[in-house]
Chain A
Amino acid sequence: MNPLDTARQKASSIRSEYEYGFRTQTDNAYELPEGLSTKVVHDISGRKKEPEWMLEFRLKALEIFYSKQMPAWGADLSSIDFDRIHYYIEPKEGGTQKWEDVPVEIKDTFEKLGIPQAERSFLAGTGAQFESEVVYHSLHEDLKAQGVIFESTDIALQKYPQMFKEYFGTVIPSADNKFSALNSAVWSGGSFIYIPKGVQVTLPLQAYFRINAERMGQFERTLIIADEGSSVHYIEGCTAPTYSSDSLHSAVVEVVVKRGAKVQYTTIQNWSNNVYNLVTKRALVYGNGEMCWLDCNLGSKATMKYPSVVLKESGAKGEMYSLALAGKGQHQDAGAKAIHLAPNTSSTIMARSISKQGGRSSYRGLVKVVKGAKNVKSRVVCDALLVDPSSRSDTYPTMDIQEQTASIAHEASVSNIRQDQLFYLMSRGLSNDEAASLLVNGFAYPIAKRLPMEYALELHRLIEIEMEGFTA
């Protein structure tokens, strides 16, 4: 067998159960060669016909990226080769407004992933990104009439330049970390959402991200502004083909939750196991606003992601629920941050992780209460399930509490799949695999129950697939 076949076989055996690992043959409209440079940034910005300030913003961010060291903690990122990544691939153009206009092979890809079906049944709006660009976007007419904006971030920059400039980069500055700087330099695609004052979007908005090319870098940029008293639930999903070489997904997600507004941001991350997933997500929450991050990480080679809330005014509330599943060769380094800057703010962090077949999951979290932020409440609960003895789980909680009046609780546990539980379930007729998958799903349930039903069922099914071939 030639080395490529061997490598391919190796790649597919990493996660043979992964059902989204198929590739689509495409003719791209425009493709940058591998590698990163100021020219690449100029090319991306020029191709998008961006205003001058955005090009400057990008170039400055690139300098910051070059000047920052790789993180010395978390997952092992040493095999990322920034010179062997495509920073921008524009798929063939159709028209983004009608599903019929999307190029057929891309349409087929999303059909296989169940995207248009989901839109028809229970969504208020859908976006679909293929490589670097959003290829399809829709929003219910009645929401448009109420002034709701749901566009690709590139389109929003052209159509709503003032609002865009007012918020873009204000929640997560380019210099926040090396990967937020990289995203700021080469960002493309993502969702821009504005919900006007008092508007309640009852059905979820969804965006789906697909990497298709080998050694692809996807750098979408999402910005959500929920104006006073409004509410919205945004859901994102992502998958990629399985390759023996690595791809990079590095997104920046900024959320502004104004007074009395409510935002839920749900992620079902199911990248193939050759994707580095290094994402920065943060929400600013104003008086009595509520932000909920619901973060499920099933795929990727390595994930480093710590959704954060900055609670800026009294009564602001942040909830971060996360579920991580780390299998063979995977490291899920996930967690949450709650920064309490104002009195009477509260946060809840609930993290559950499942490690199997030598997989590693880490909880990394921060609760910070500044001086003067009186009567803060925060509760952190981390539970890890080790399916077999070769797997690993770590907890890195940081507490920085500068206020005596704060009420802070932290609980952590590590458990195993217990033999007596397996025997009990099997004594009723369930097989070893079925029993193990039921136990794992039961462990995931406190997080899964917060998902919309369709996604909870999908998560349940994914865990079942992951637990096939389980032997105690």
Chain B
Amino acid sequence: MDTLVLKNLSVSVDKTSIVNGVDLVIPRGELHVLMGPNGSGKSTLLNAIMGNPLTVVTDGSIVLGDDDITTSPTEDRARKGLFLAFQYPPDIAGVTLGNFVRLAKNAQLQVRDSDAKPISPAEFVKTMNTTSRRVGLANTFIGRSVNEGFSGGEKKRSELLQMIILQPHFALLDEIDSGVDVDALTVIADVLNELRATSNCGILLVTHQGALLDKLEPTAVHVMSKGCIVKTGNKELAKEILASGYESMAL
């Protein structure tokens, strides 16, 4: 369970090839940033790693620790510790955030620890209260339908809340910082730094903005173009891109 490895991964959507032969190794505890122009395949790559049925892996493999998960059902990937923070989380009418996160937590608990007892709703409310405070969501959100009527920023805070509670081994974050206010950016950075430090979470972060990167210490920065990783560097590479854009890099 120490690395997430993408080997020569190619992915298509609707029979159109989007990701072409990506190689990437992310050990736990590391933070890898993925940048690239719109349409370069970043979201598709993250969705393919999580097993979104809209994506089809046409070549290569996804290995989580000792397990090849290239064809595993999505829920198995989640139960093995993989988490995807969605760029556009969908509404789930009639299902409360509290209930949903508790069911998810219990589904994962039983796989990770066969002796674990399911957490009762009463017990879970405490966790939800503390965590919602931490991510800056009023505790009234716990009783609201998942994402229904949430603002863009509130959806991102809800994704963050779910990540904290589910304690993933590897987190795939698809623009967790888009459309959020300054305070939320600080919370996101704090949470990511803490997850890395305390639970050794490996992170693959897709972002377009420097504001969040300023608060983080990435292990590596990768640039994606036309479905391939074309350049890898450190935080300086990100700064260069943010200062001069992708075109100047002649991608």
Contact = CB atoms under 8 A, between A and B. Distances in A.
Interface of A: 418-421, 423-432, 434-435, 438-439, 441-446, 472
Given A438-B95, A438-B103, A442-B95, A427 B90 contact: no
Interface in B82-112: 83-84, 86, 89-95, 100-101, 103-104, 107-108, 111
B54 interface: yes
Contact of A428 (B51, B78, B90): B78
Contact of B74 (A421, A427, A443, A446): A427
Contacts of A423: 50, 52-54, 74
B94 A443 contact: yes
A9 B52 CA distance: 38
B94 A430 contact: no
A387 to B, nearest CB: 15
A424 B101 CA distance: 12
Interface in B217-234: none
Contact of B104 (A418, A428, A432, A444): A428
Given A418-B90, A420-B90, A428 B95 contact: no
A439 B92 CA distance: 7
B7 interface: no
A438 B93 CA distance: 10
B94 A441 contact: yes
A451 to B, nearest CB: 14
Given A428-B107, A429-B107, A442-B92, 14 more contacts: A423-B54, A424-B89, A424-B92, A425-B100, A427-B51, A427-B74, A427-B78, A427-B83, A428-B78, A428-B100, A429-B78, A434-B107, A439-B92, A444-B94
A442 B145 contact: yes
Contacts of B194: none
Interface in B116-141: none
Interface string B191-235: 000000000000000000000000000000000000000000000
Contacts of B67: none
B73 interface: yes
B174 to A, nearest CB: 11
Contacts of B77: 427
Contacts of A421: 90-92
B68 interface: no
B75 interface: yes
B162 interface: yes
Nearest to B85: A427
A421 B145 CA distance: 13
A432 B100 contact: no
B166 interface: yes
A428 B166 contact: yes
A13 to B, nearest CB: 27
Contacts of B78: 426-429
Contact of B79 (A429, A443, A446): A429
Q: Which 9 A-B pairs have the closest CB atoms?
A: A442-B94, A445-B94, A428-B104, A429-B78, A442-B95, A429-B107, A426-B74, A429-B108, A426-B75
The A interface is mostly helix, strand or loop, or mixed, namely helix
Nearest to B165: A428
Interface string B47-85: 000111110000000000000000001110111000110
Given A424-B92, A439-B92, A441-B94, A429 B145 contact: no
B75 A431 contact: yes
A472 B92 CA distance: 17
B43 to A, nearest CB: 13
Contacts of A424: 86, 89-90, 92
B161 to A, nearest CB: 12
B104 A429 contact: yes
Most A-side CB within 10 Å, residue of B74, B93, B103, B111: B74
Contacts of A429: 75, 78-79, 104, 107-108, 111, 166
Contacts of A425: 92, 100, 104
Contacts of A432: 73, 75
25 contacts: A424-B90, A425-B104, A426-B73, A427-B50, A427-B51, A427-B78, A427-B86, A428-B78, A428-B83, A429-B75, A429-B78, A429-B104, A430-B103, A431-B73, A432-B73, A435-B75, A438-B103, A441-B94, A442-B92, A442-B93, A442-B94, A442-B95, A443-B93, A445-B95, A472-B53
A430 B107 contact: yes
A456 to B, nearest CB: 12
A430 B89 contact: no
A434 B52 CA distance: 17
Nearest to A420: B90
Most A-side CB within 10 Å, residue of B84, B94, B111: B94
A438 B92 CA distance: 9
Contacts of B52: 423
Nearest to A449: B94
Nearest to B84: A427
Contacts of A430: 75, 103-104, 107
A431 B83 CA distance: 15
A431 B107 CA distance: 9
Most A-side CB within 10 Å, residue of B79, B93, B111, B162: B93
A254 B50 CA distance: 56
Contacts of B91: 421
A70 B79 CA distance: 55
A438 B96 CA distance: 10
Contacts of B90: 418, 420-421, 424
Contacts of B103: 430, 434, 438
A442 B90 CA distance: 14
